Structure 1
Amino acid sequence: MDNDQEPFGGKVFVLSGDFRQILPVVVRGTPADTIDACLKSSSLWSHFNQVHLTENMRVQSARSESTAAELAAFSEFLLKVGEGRHEVSRSLGKDFVKIPRDMLIDNTESDQDMDEDEAILPGAVPRGLKNIIDVMYADINNPDIATDEYFASRTILTTTNAVVQRINEAVSQRLSGDSHKYLSVDSVNDDNDGNFFEAEVLHTVSINGIPPHKLTLKEGAPIMMMRNLNPDLGLCNGTRLRVVKLKPHVIHATIMTGERQGQDVLIPRIVFVSDGDSRDSLFRLRRKQFPVVLAFVMTINKAQGQTVQNLGLYLATPCFSYGQLYVALSRVTSRSKFKALIEYPQLEEGDGVNTDNIVYRHIFGTT
């Protein structure tokens, strides 16, 4: 350090980000805790010279004036959603936003035998799930259309890992071909506790960031890396690939995006160990499994930083944390390429439906 009396030792330090997106996650924290963990709450914030982006590159790259006007309107809509400046429903209040009808998938054909209050649990088929799959993956078995580019250019976003797993299973069932099941080897990382937990119990444990005990894949399906396996080969957390061949001890796949697009790779099983920091955790799980999951769909949080050409948003339950709706809407470059299916909207109107939009407006100096 050149100067221990100056922030960062007097070195130039560049930060970039978007306060409209999901803020730092504080486990079991209140909105006040989340705001307190935000960079804007740091004592160092006043020392930064703030530079704001002023030129919309999507609008500048438009091929025509009409397209530019459409992109500009969509960009303004996104900013209003992200900052909570959108039109407010008198009956619902400021924490709800109207999604225009042209951005929605029709969900009028409901399952009359389903209890509308039924939770999204394994085995049940959520109302409307078929509709969004029909829209997003209509050509999944057409070899002339369902290429690597087809899968790389589209995804479905949703709020929770439980619903992600549900949709992935539903889409995978539509994909032709045989299923391959891979079972993990599970144990307790601390040998002193190992005798207290049966293997069958460990197999049922589900932890964020660790693949499931039973991983069911098909050749031709899109998958996503869950860990940084080999950055030099492009195998990083979040990398999207497509399965070429499924072997007992290795997965042959092709990278679908990024600088390594089109490159063939071999993915082995690796060992995952849970951090054990949670108050609810009785042990540290040790699981040997392939570091991938199906990628027909992903959580909104996982989609941060990604851009796709065709995006479906499936809300079996409303967005529940700051910035989620903005992140989902802003992953696509064109309004016409975004479609949402909202299972139980707060209010339906002729020109759209209302859903939750959680924004802490004082982050932007408004109330």
Structure 2
Amino acid sequence: MRNIVLSVLGVLLILGAVYVGNIVANSKKKKRPVPEKVIKTVYTDTVQNKTIPIIIPANGNLVAKRRVELYAEVQGIFKGTGKLFKPGQKYRAGQTLIRIDAAEYYANVQSSKSNLYNSISAIMPDLRLDFPEVYPKWQKYLTSFNLDKTTPKLPEMSSEKEKYFITGRNIVTNYYNVKNLEQRLAKYTIRAPFSGILTEALVTEGSLVRNGQKLGEFIDDAVYEMEVALSKKYASLLKVGEKVALNNLDNTESFSGVVSRVNGSIDASTQTITAYIEVKDATLKEGMYLEANLNAKEEENAIEINRNLVSDTNEIFVVRDSILDVIEVTPVYFSDTKAVLKNIPDGTIILSKSVPGAYAGMLVKPYTTQKTQAKITKTKNAE
């Protein structure tokens, strides 16, 4: 009997130990956590189509609109004019830039003018006897003749006899020889064709100037032009008179210009068209590098977004019921950072910033500020 009791107790003890062990073992097992759904917060914008100005960026260097390269047509010693012939020297319109010694040539001109005067004086008695009706006008011509001034124009010949008589005495030939010499004498003095500044000087006072030698460069420092090359697809958009905003590379100065000319042909090698922008400002200098923004046209019923939001297949992400989707768009213009798009309905919610790893069907949560949330709540209450 005792052995039976001990056996039963032993079995019960073993069963109890197994039960307790199972409880302890089960209590140490960790439950696998259920993963939470990750919802990305995205920045969005609501489409509102409007008129978008298409601005074409361009750049180039300023060049003076009016420029003169100074060349000598005669030979002689360069004489002083009261102003140093140096780069940076300013001159008014009509002021003497260069004076070349013309003493010897001037003497030849005066000699020819004197011969013309003597020739006319020699025929005056014959005119008084044979052509009394034309004598007064020739007498008046002699009276107005001044060797120190430009030779006046010969009187108008009213009859064939008068013309034959005057021509037969070589008066007309001598007159035109004198005018030819006077024209060449004027080339010994070079005057400023307009007010401006000397940018290059290749001779100095006292140096010998030779025929055909370049003397310097003179520009109008009040008006400049910038030549820009644009793609041929903008040829129909560029208009003469269109205003242009310009700025320097540091964006510290801004200027206003206007499209003055557009080339009528396209460069065959680069397939670009050249436009010229005229700009006036006292602070500008020739050779300055500027950036320009040309207002090519205005596109109606369009939006402008960051270029990186448009895929290679011309699609963008939209948000529909907190889920990303894609729609096709029609690009009108691409700049370096922006894209102008059409065919997007008003009220469409699009991404305003790119989302890494975004895909159609992705669950998202639009980011709303307190101001936006208050506006949404106000709209719902009104409804």
Normalised TM-score (structure 1): 0.20
1 or 2, which has the higher strand percentage?
2
Whichever of the two has the greater Rg, that structure is 2
Relative CO higher for 1 or 2, CA cutoff 8 Å, sep ≥ 6? 2
